[in-house]
Amino acid sequence: MISISKILQSLRKSEQQNKICNYKLVNTSNERKVILNCKKCSFSSDLNDKSCLDNIIHVLLKEPYIDRLVLSHLYEREYEKESLTILKEFAYFCDFINAYNNAALTDSGCTYPEKLKCQIARKEIIDALIAQSFKDPLQIMDILFEQNGTKIEGHILDNLPDHSECNSCIEQFNFILNEIKQKALITKNRLKAQKQKAAISDYNTQIRSYVRPSFSTSRIYAEPPDNTEFIECYDIQYKKGRELEISIYAFNDRPEKLYFIKPFEYFLDPLDLSTIERIRKKIIRHRPDDLSFADPANSREYFRQIAKRILLEDTELYGNYLNPSRVDIYSDLLAKYTSGLGILEDILSDPRVTDVYINAPADSNPVNVVIDDEECITNVFLSQNDLDSMVSRFRAISGRPFGEATPVLEMKLDDPDVRVSVIGDPLSSNGLAYAFRKHAHTPWTLPKLISSGTISPLAAGLLSFMAEGQSSILIAGDVGAGKTSLLSSMIAEIPQKYRILTIEDTPEIPVKPLQNLGWKIQGMNSQSSIMKSNAEMTPEVALRAALRLGNSSLVIGEVRGTEVRVLYEAMQVGTAGNSVMGTIHGASAKAVYERIINTLKVPSSSFKATDAIVICSSTRTAGEMNKKKRVTQIAEVNDLITSEYSSDNMFSDLFTYSSSKDSLVSADILDRGQSALVNKIASKMGISIDDASKNIQLRAKIKEKVADWGNKNPEIMEIEALSIANNMFWLLMDEQKQNDILDYNFVFKRWLEWFEDFAQNMTENHSYTYYSFTE
């Protein structure tokens, strides 16, 4: 049991620190912040350091109306909200006790000669309580509550003269002690309300802080909250040897998950941390000899090489030699915080993350991610400096304006491959807000969509048949429902001998990978759909230019404005070339029809130029909280004779989604061979409706077989392997046509023999050896 006498003994051995730490008060539009400069302090910049806690409490009493407290050292610890409230409760408790510093501790009417001795002894007790409360307020609470009043009184007064006439003095002193004890009880109850344990020895464990190295302005929680349960953990390995540990936790008091990252630079030892900070300052002062750093494609590697050179020079100068692998890791880390996106870069590097968004104000809201189609909060908080520097870089890279006159910026980053949307004042009054939509590292394919459950094999076969059959297809759905992913997978089903033109305001279609694999595809960029720039071509101009570039399949990134009338005009008169595909917002085929007719003002008679509508949705199955991306409807546009068109008689479903089966189910008209669209494509191909049905089923079996092998070796479902498999299918089909024999079972048999060898070789050797079907 800790006694007052021991407190007095410890206090007499050391002088009390009267000087408050140097600090800076920073006011922003969102908060008041106190920053304590601990870099030159002899203490540890730690709540468990009694001298540090003493100074912190004194600062809080001097600056009570702040939103954040920062201890600035090699690592910076930041306290806000609940943690700062707890520290303020300690400060209020200490301030309450401190008020008794000049209190009357004896009866004013006492005439005994021992009165001065009693006053001095009791003053020492109060001074001890005051001083220790600033250094360790919880210890004082323990002392007050581990002993009852009599023992405390007896212990305090055991060295004082025993006079029965001193009862009034004793009662007066006991009254003061009871007031202090009552205040301790109130503070203790408030701490319980903050989920704070009353008796602890480790302040850092109970009072959580954000942590960050001094060279980063992004903050993280270094430990998961108490109200979480561990689910899983995995690592991401970077090319330069750096690793990122990621854990997923479930909250036990709300239906949400925590995406918890531990960047290794947030846990470095002080020596390495000080080395990195020293190198970073040298890089900032570095004056480039050329303009290589100005090119976004080269800047990352440029700064990495500069960091590596300066790091090697520094280690030689200070004699702090590093392992070559550590040199690579640290130089890559420095490039990440100079020309990269900082800690946000780590999150975007996770292949499971598809979306990242940051709500304003960023200082108060955590970064949010979508992982495996489920939204999660993270332990990462970006600063306003992070966001300001990012938007300046994005504005320079995109060449698009951003400010109060144009408070929206949309662009695409190549490394990492993401689409960025930024909004600012006056659209976002609380500061900058960001959304990052990641593109797949490799283009989506129909087998990958089959494997993920997005589409059924037979539906994939139909979409492949439609893409090759020069159809006009609109892919609709909500934001993030997988429209562009499906569109990209369907482009891969267009034979490489056909030319393809794409029009997008923010490039998302994987043009370059398709070009590298042999597709004749040309990308075209149009004006932003939100904040228009005169330096960019409008979608109408881009579309008319595309129509004059010759016979091509036309792919529109998103149909959303007046260009749709030009598109339907081209489709009607046949100048759109082979096939036309594009995405549009809409939850169903009827919703797409209503939008195009009523909102975009396309005549209802012109809508017939559309062959099919494909609906993508983010659905919940079996009442689950998690959303899954699914194709939920494939409908053909009826070729009506009557002049009365409406959304009720415009469509016939070819596939509908069954939530109980979590799969697409084919409609009767497709099963019975009565689809007008299939018949139309069959006529173009010069085959019967029966052959068209067999063709669709053959494609379905091929896609399913690729997906099955892909479950063993995912590389087989990628675009590189699929392009070879599709080419082999088309070569076999051409061979059959030349022999005037079209035996679909025979085609599949020969293709399957080739594919088994091809897939086995890929699995064993991880190579794309091209096997001819004649071998």
pLDDT digit string, tens, across residues 352-393: 898 999 998 887 889 999 998 788 999 999 887 788 888 888
- Identify the domain boundary among 390, 410, 438: 438
Residues 166 and 146 in one domain: yes
pLDDT band of residue 21 (cuts 50, 70, 90) is confident
The pLDDT of residue 3 is above 60:
no
Residue 236: name the closest of 272, 213, 264, 273 by CA.
Answer: 264
Cis check for the bond before 714: say yes or no (omega within 30 of 0).
no
- How many Å apart are CA 117 and CA 51, to the nearest integer? 30
CA 531 to chain CA centroid, Å, is: 25
Q: What is the mean pLDDT of residues 104-133?
A: 78
User: 92-106, 222-236, 440-454: which has the minimum mean pLDDT?
Assistant: 92-106
Indicate the number of domains in the chain.
Answer: 3
pLDDT band of residue 519 (cuts 50, 70, 90) is very high
* CATH number of the domain where residue 416 is located: 3.30.450.380
Q: What is the mean pLDDT of residues 579-594?
A: 89
pLDDT band of residue 233 (cuts 50, 70, 90) is very high
The pLDDT of residue 471 is above 60:
yes
Q: Look over the chain and give the mean of its residue pLDDT values, rounded to a whole number.
A: 82
User: 148-162, 234-248, 391-405, 635-649: which has the minimum mean pLDDT?
Assistant: 148-162
Q: 613 CB contacts (<8 Å, ≥6 apart)?
A: 473, 474, 476, 586, 589, 592, 593, 633, 634, 635, 637, 651
Q: pLDDT value at position 646?
A: 62
Q: What is the mean pLDDT of residues 394-407?
A: 84
Q: Is 121 exposed, middle or buried (0-12, 13-18, 19+ CB in 10 A)?
A: middle
Write the CA distances from 88 to 71, 93, 550, 595, 606, integer angstroms. 15, 9, 72, 56, 69
- Identify the domain boundary among 194, 212, 246: 194
For residue 767, is it within any domain?
no
Q: What is the mean pLDDT of residues 450-472?
A: 93
Residues 336 and 458 in one domain: no
For residue 224, is it within any domain?
no
Q: Give me 160's structure tokens.
A: 């004082």
Q: pLDDT value at position 708?
A: 94
For residue 694, is it within any domain?
no
Residues 145 and 46 in one domain: yes
Residues 156 and 90 in one domain: yes
Q: pLDDT value at position 152?
A: 40
Residues 274 and 393 in one domain: yes
Q: pLDDT value at position 45?
A: 81
Residues 531 and 385 in one domain: no
Residues 487 and 612 in one domain: yes
Q: Give me 171's structure tokens.
A: 């009662």
Q: pLDDT value at position 296?
A: 60
Residues 277 and 384 in one domain: yes
Q: Strand 32-37: give its sheet, edge to edge.
A: 23-27, 32-37, 68-72, 75-80, 210-213, 219-221, 380-381
Higher pLDDT, 172 or 186: 186
For residue 465, is it within any domain?
yes
Would the pTM count as exceeding 0.85?
no
The pLDDT of residue 2 is above 70:
no
* Secondary structure, 3-state, 512-563: HHHHHCCCEEEEEECCCCCCCCCCCCCHHHHHHHHHCCCCCEEEECCCCCCH
User: 91-95, 200-204, 473-477, 746-750: which has the minimum mean pLDDT?
Assistant: 200-204
Question: Cβ(463)–Cβ(634) under 8 Å?
Answer: yes
Q: Give me 98's structure tokens.
A: 């401190």
Q: What is the mean pLDDT of residues 662-669?
A: 90
pLDDT band of residue 689 (cuts 50, 70, 90) is very high
* CATH number of the domain where residue 560 is located: 3.40.50.300
Q: Which of 124-133, 245-254, 602-611 has the highest mean pLDDT?
A: 245-254
Residues 634 and 665 in one domain: yes
Continuous segment of H or E residues that includes residue 270? helix 270-285
Residues 287 and 309 in one domain: yes
Q: Give me 273's structure tokens.
A: 């941390």
Q: pLDDT value at position 118?
A: 78
- Identify the domain boundary among 686, 709, 744: 686
For residue 597, is it within any domain?
yes
The pLDDT of residue 528 is above 70:
no
Residues 434 and 454 in one domain: no
Which residues span the domain enclosing 186? 4-194
pLDDT band of residue 730 (cuts 50, 70, 90) is very high
Residues 428 and 475 in one domain: no
pLDDT tens digits along 487-507: 999 999 999 888 898 888 777
Q: pLDDT value at position 699?
A: 96
